[in-house]
Amino acid sequence: MVTNVWEDPKPTALLVLADGTVIEGQGLGAVGHAVGEVCFNTAITGYQEILTDPSYAGQIITFTFPHIGNVGTNDEDIETVNMASSSGVRGCVLKTDITDPSNYRSGRHFDAWLKARGIIGISGIDTRALTALIREKGMPNAVIAHSETGEFDIDALKAEAAAWPGLEGMDLAKEVTCPQTYTWSETPWTWPEGFGERQAEAYHIVAVDFGVKRNILRLLANENCKVTVVPATATAEDILAHNPDGVFLSNGPGDPAATGEYAVPMVKEIVAKDIPVFGICLGHQILALALGATTMKMHQGHHGANHPVKDHTTSKVEITSMNHGFAVDTDSLPDGVEETHISLFDGSNCGLALSGKPVFSVQYHPEANPGPQDSHYLFKRFINHIRQLKGDELVQETAA
């Protein structure tokens, strides 16, 4: 049973599950209600990056770490490219109330930040019990509601939660992608300078934005690449018109099979041109579909910053950041498609490569720095595919 952590005479927020379960708590952030899929995230840092990751569109995030909001928020730790909008996350569930920020980088209280981005929150929840429920029964659909007066139409909220169809079959990439093509040149943050700017244009990468994160684009620019970002619905003809040296398939939300209705034909054409391709998360799943594999909905998904993954190409283990509720079915990989990475938690597929072609992808987020830089070699691996085709000298993938 999931309850609130402490008794309060009048709850100002509810989490109403599709099975009719009503969980009471205290409201924070935006006022209103939103429907989505409830997942849990085990990371102990990076709540601002998590809540602005477009891959979480359509989801309500339960944070298993209790101290969310304690370092405030700032304008630098945002992952969605469109600063004027939310990432699409539907809400957040916390154990404890938000304390005053205690960090020199903080520019705004977490509660005020949630309000500004239209994100509904609920605190005072037994998040351990809710996490256990998700692990036992899977990720439930639910409505999160916040009313300052504590007045709710519970029957209506129950009906809304029960009626929501869920993420299977839902194409959310169109909701979070960029509205038009643009160029990216910002490079990663360094102390004490902050973010930098690309200094050269050795190669040209076209990034397909299914919900791309800022730090992915920064790491591509850091390899002295001109980065052109195109909408999720871009055709192969649109992409090839930019004369790219490589094509990147970004992360994103929703069911890959639904997004694949328009993305898979594009990827098939790009792969046939022998252009180097690199995919991350949803981009990995879309690539797998284009190569003849299938995807499936996971029971509880992988959401956190401590997931061990083995790279079969190097026999090394990386500590990775993950955020996905769908996965590539390993048994469906056709001949000629190699499984390159696996999760050491459950053995699920975490990477693939197309034999004889400069095409590969991973399920996890190498840009999210959980290791902290265990997986940055993948960006250099991508650039080395380009270098090899051009006859340029290869770069070392990992530090000596």
Question: Per residue of the chain (400 residues), what is the pLDDT tens digit?
Answer: 565 555 556 999 999 999 999 999 999 999 999 999 999 999 999 999 999 999 999 999 999 999 999 999 999 999 999 755 567 999 999 999 999 999 999 999 999 999 999 999 999 999 999 999 999 999 999 999 999 999 999 999 999 999 999 999 999 999 999 999 999 999 999 988 999 999 999 999 999 999 999 999 999 999 999 999 999 999 999 999 999 999 999 999 999 999 999 999 999 999 999 999 999 999 999 999 999 999 999 999 999 999 999 999 999 999 999 999 999 999 999 999 999 999 999 999 999 999 999 999 999 999 998 888 999 999 999 999 999 999 999 999 875 4
For the chain, give the number of residues: 400
Known active-site residue 367: yes
Q: Which domains does the chain have, with CATH numbers?
A: 13-163 (3.50.30.20), 173-390 (3.40.50.880)
pLDDT in the model for residue 87: 75
Three-state secondary structure of 227-296: EEEEECCCCHHHHHCCCCCEEEECCCCCCHHHHHHHHHHHHHHHHHCCCCEEEECHHHHHHHHHCCCCEE
CA atoms within 13 A on the CB side of 62: 30
Tokens of 334: 């056709």
| CA distances to 140, 152, 175 from 36, in Å | 9, 18, 15
Q: Decide: 108 and 71 in contact? Cβ < 8 Å.
A: no
The closest alpha carbon to 198, from 209, 212, 184, 215, belongs to 184
**Catalytic hit among 146, 365, 376, 385:** 365
pLDDT in the model for residue 398: 77
Question: What pairing do the DSSP bridges indicate for beta strands 182-184 and 141-146?
Answer: unpaired
Tokens of 155: 């029957």
Distance (Å, whole) CA 191 – CA 128: 36
**Catalytic hit among 92, 367, 376, 385:** 367
Distance (Å, whole) CA 240 – CA 391: 21
| CA distances to 62, 161, 176, 213, 232 from 171, in Å | 23, 19, 10, 18, 11
What does the DSSP assignment read for 140-194? -EEEEEE-TT----HHHHHHHHHH---STT---HHHHS-SS-EEE-EEEEETTTE
Tokens of 230: 């195109």
**Catalytic hit among 281, 284, 302, 385:** 281
Give the Cβ contact number of residue 261 at 10 Å.
10
The closest alpha carbon to 55, from 256, 212, 184, 209, belongs to 212
The closest alpha carbon to 34, from 136, 117, 100, belongs to 117
Q: Decide: 249 and 278 in contact? Cβ < 8 Å.
A: yes
Tokens of 148: 């300052």
Distance (Å, whole) CA 182 – CA 294: 32
pLDDT in the model for residue 400: 42
Amino acid occupying residue 84: A
The residue behind tokens 């090394």 is 316
Question: What pairing do the DSSP bridges indicate for beta strands 22-29 and 32-41?
Answer: unpaired
Phi, psi for 14 (deg, rounded to 5): -135, 150
User: Would you put residue 301 in left (φ > 0), alpha (ψ -120 to 50) or beta?
Assistant: left
| CA distances to 68, 154, 158, 385 from 13, in Å | 17, 11, 14, 51
Q: Is 300 helix (H, G, I), strand (E, B) or coil?
A: strand
